[in-house]
Chain A
Amino acid sequence: MREPIERGTGCVRGFGDLEAAIMDRLWSWQQPATVRELLADLNKDRDLAYTTVMTVLDNLHRKGWLTRDLDRRAYRYSPVSTRQAYSAELMREALDSSGDNATTLLRFVDAMTDAEAEAVRKALRKHRGSGRR
């Protein structure tokens, strides 16, 4: 018999939220955790099946976000990298307006040189009625 993927509500959006919640916990605990430990903590405010958490952990492992070690008969999962490292990678991509990924994202404004920034501030000051609101 097949287990239900997720009991209760909120299953439609896929596992994205759950992945984030799991990574969150592993980063703040700063030590490897088993499916059962994560399940216990996650189920303080939701109602997940063991297999759901197991599947998501397996996905995260397959995607390369988590490593795992067999401890007695259960896997213990831990993040491959820190949250700071991922944030740094994210912002590097977000700010890099040169090279191959120049067209991957559309930025609101590229960083200006000091001279241009000064000219922009001057233009804003000079313009009548353009006080910052």
Chain B
Amino acid sequence: MTITLLLFAYALAVAGLAPRLLAGAWTRRSPRLTLMLWQAAGGSGLLAVALAGISCVAAPGRLAACLEALVGSDAAAGVLTVVAGLLLPVLLLARLAFVAAAMTRIQRAERRRHIQLLSLVGHHDSLLDATVVAAATASAYCVPGTDRVVLTDTALRMLEPSELRAVLAHERAHLAGRHHLVVSWAAVVARAFPGVPVFRGLHEATVDLVELLADDRAVRGESRNSLAWAIAQLGTGDGPAVSLAAGGGRVLARVERLLDPPRRLPVATRAGGAGAAVAVLAVPVLLAGLPAVVAAGLAACPLLFG
């Protein structure tokens, strides 16, 4: 029972603290570490809640006593505890699986249709190794799960050669890094449990951070200036007003980061951060396993644990 409460408290603490701790300028200095910490926070929250259910089955304790008093029968209370405890992780997983399946289905259908449309109205430019589409809007994107980078002819006209190379390098970094997988996972969690701030934060941060990862990768071979200019060119292309202000200053932050690159976090800090990510995930497992460990220890070595 105590363990169950501890696990719930831990989930609440992680949910409350993560968005506050994983903010600020340092998060943009090492996007990979920040991404790792966000994933650990989201994952450990889910894990703690699931394990809380299991732990209340494993050690009913006071909860069973409460239920017994309510129901008036020992056996019925026991059954209720087990059902309630198991229902929690099962529902959690079922909800995630359901949303993931639905999203995967939609994505697959949309990508298939998109690729068909591309093959009919676009043409493959073998020099760029990209698909070019005639459109009034300047735009560039990639189709995850394929090796396809798409540019509109308007974007081609607007970009200087070095900017074009930077755009292509950025998109290829998305594809090579399989960034869509981590973005999709974050989207699934956010959609499965809407209104939970830590999951919304996880999703928004992931979308933002993979752009920084792709930028960092692109500027290994291309100039920072060119990439910054390309962002300005393609972000302000006067297409249909699709914006709905989703960026919220993120594009500006991206450009500023390219023009004035912050120093990477020191190796020791990054190593410590990675350790923290592992620890955040390990804590709920250890909490849930504690009674078993103690019990096993008592049985095996009464002197030490006694």
Task: Say yes or no: is A74 at the interface (Cβ < 8 Å to chain B).
Answer: no
Known contacts A90-B121, A94-B150; is-contact A108 B251 (Cβ 8 Å): no
Q: Tell whether, in the assembled complex, residue A106 and residue B243 are in contact, meaning their CB atoms are under 8 Å apart.
A: no
Contacts of B249 in A (CB 8 A): 116, 119
Contacts of B111 in A (CB 8 A): 104-105
Considering the complex, give the chain B residue whose CB is closest to the CB of A112: B235
| Cβ-defined partner of B121 (8 Å) among A86, A112, A131 | A86
Whole-angstrom distance between the alpha carbons of A127 and B257 in the complex? 12
Binary contact readout A6-48 vs B (1 if CB under 8 angstroms, 0 otherwise) = 0000000000100110010000000000000000000000000
Contacts of A116 in B (CB 8 A): 247, 249, 251-252
Q: Tell whether, in the assembled complex, residue A111 and residue B242 are in contact, meaning their CB atoms are under 8 Å apart.
A: yes
Q: Tell whether, in the assembled complex, residue B244 and residue A98 are in contact, meaning their CB atoms are under 8 Å apart.
A: yes
Binary contact readout B106-142 vs A (1 if CB under 8 angstroms, 0 otherwise) = 1100110010111111110000000001110101111
Considering the complex, give the chain A residue whose CB is closest to the CB of B236: A117
Residues of A in contact with B (beta carbons under 8 Å apart): 16, 19-20, 23, 63, 65, 83, 86-87, 89-91, 93-98, 100-113, 116-117, 119-121, 123-124, 127, 129-133
Contacts of A19 in B (CB 8 A): 119-120
Q: Tell whether, in the assembled complex, residue A108 and residue B234 are in contact, meaning their CB atoms are under 8 Å apart.
A: yes
Contacts of B304 in A (CB 8 A): none
Q: Tell whether, in the assembled complex, residue A107 and residue B160 are in contact, meaning their CB atoms are under 8 Å apart.
A: no
Binding stretch for chain A, among B1-9, B56-64, B76-84, B178-186: B178-186
Contacts of A108 in B (CB 8 A): 139-141, 167, 170-171, 230-231, 234
Binding stretch for chain A, among B35-43, B221-229, B275-283, B285-293: B221-229
Task: Say yes or no: is B232 at the interface (Cβ < 8 Å to chain A).
Answer: yes
Task: Say yes or no: is B259 at the interface (Cβ < 8 Å to chain A).
Answer: yes
Residues of B in contact with A (beta carbons under 8 Å apart): 103, 106-107, 110-111, 114, 116-123, 133-135, 137, 139-144, 150, 152, 160, 162, 167, 170-171, 174, 179-180, 183-184, 187, 210, 223, 225-226, 228-232, 234-237, 239-247, 249, 251-252, 254-256, 259-260
Contacts of B247 in A (CB 8 A): 110-113, 116
Whole-angstrom distance between the alpha carbons of A119 and B111 in the complex? 34
Subset of 6 A-B contacts with CB under 8 Å? A91-B139, A95-B139, A105-B142, A106-B180, A112-B243, A116-B252
Whole-angstrom distance between the alpha carbons of A110 and B187 in the complex? 17
| Cβ-defined partner of B259 (8 Å) among A97, A110, A123 | A123
Considering the complex, give the chain B residue whose CB is closest to the CB of A111: B243
Known contacts A117-B236, A119-B252, A121-B232; is-contact A63 B116 (Cβ 8 Å): yes
Whole-angstrom distance between the alpha carbons of A107 and B236 in the complex? 14
| Cβ-defined partner of B120 (8 Å) among A65, A95, A100, A133 | A65
Considering the complex, give the chain B residue whose CB is closest to the CB of A65: B120
Considering the complex, give the chain B residue whose CB is closest to the CB of A17: B119
Known contacts A19-B119, A95-B139, A107-B139; is-contact A127 B245 (Cβ 8 Å): no
Q: Tell whether, in the assembled complex, residue B229 and residue A104 are in contact, meaning their CB atoms are under 8 Å apart.
A: no
What 5 A-B pairs have minimum CB-CB distances, sorted nearest first? A108-B140, A117-B236, A111-B243, A109-B235, A127-B259
Considering the complex, give the chain A residue whose CB is closest to the CB of B248: A116
Q: Tell whether, in the assembled complex, residue A127 and residue B260 are in contact, meaning their CB atoms are under 8 Å apart.
A: yes
Contacts of B143 in A (CB 8 A): 105
The winner among B120, B228, B255 for most chain A CB atoms within 10 A is B120
Q: How far is the CB of A13 from chain B (nearest CB, A)?
A: 10
Q: Tell whether, in the assembled complex, residue A120 and residue B259 are in contact, meaning their CB atoms are under 8 Å apart.
A: no
Q: Tell whether, in the assembled complex, residue A133 and residue B110 are in contact, meaning their CB atoms are under 8 Å apart.
A: no
Q: Tell whether, in the assembled complex, residue B252 and residue A106 are in contact, meaning their CB atoms are under 8 Å apart.
A: no
Contacts of A98 in B (CB 8 A): 244, 246
Q: Tell whether, in the assembled complex, residue A111 and residue B237 are in contact, meaning their CB atoms are under 8 Å apart.
A: yes
Considering the complex, give the chain A residue whose CB is closest to the CB of B107: A104
Q: Tell whether, in the assembled complex, residue B133 and residue A106 are in contact, meaning their CB atoms are under 8 Å apart.
A: no
Q: Tell whether, in the assembled complex, residue A133 and residue B160 are in contact, meaning their CB atoms are under 8 Å apart.
A: yes
Whole-angstrom distance between the alpha carbons of A20 and B119 in the complex? 6
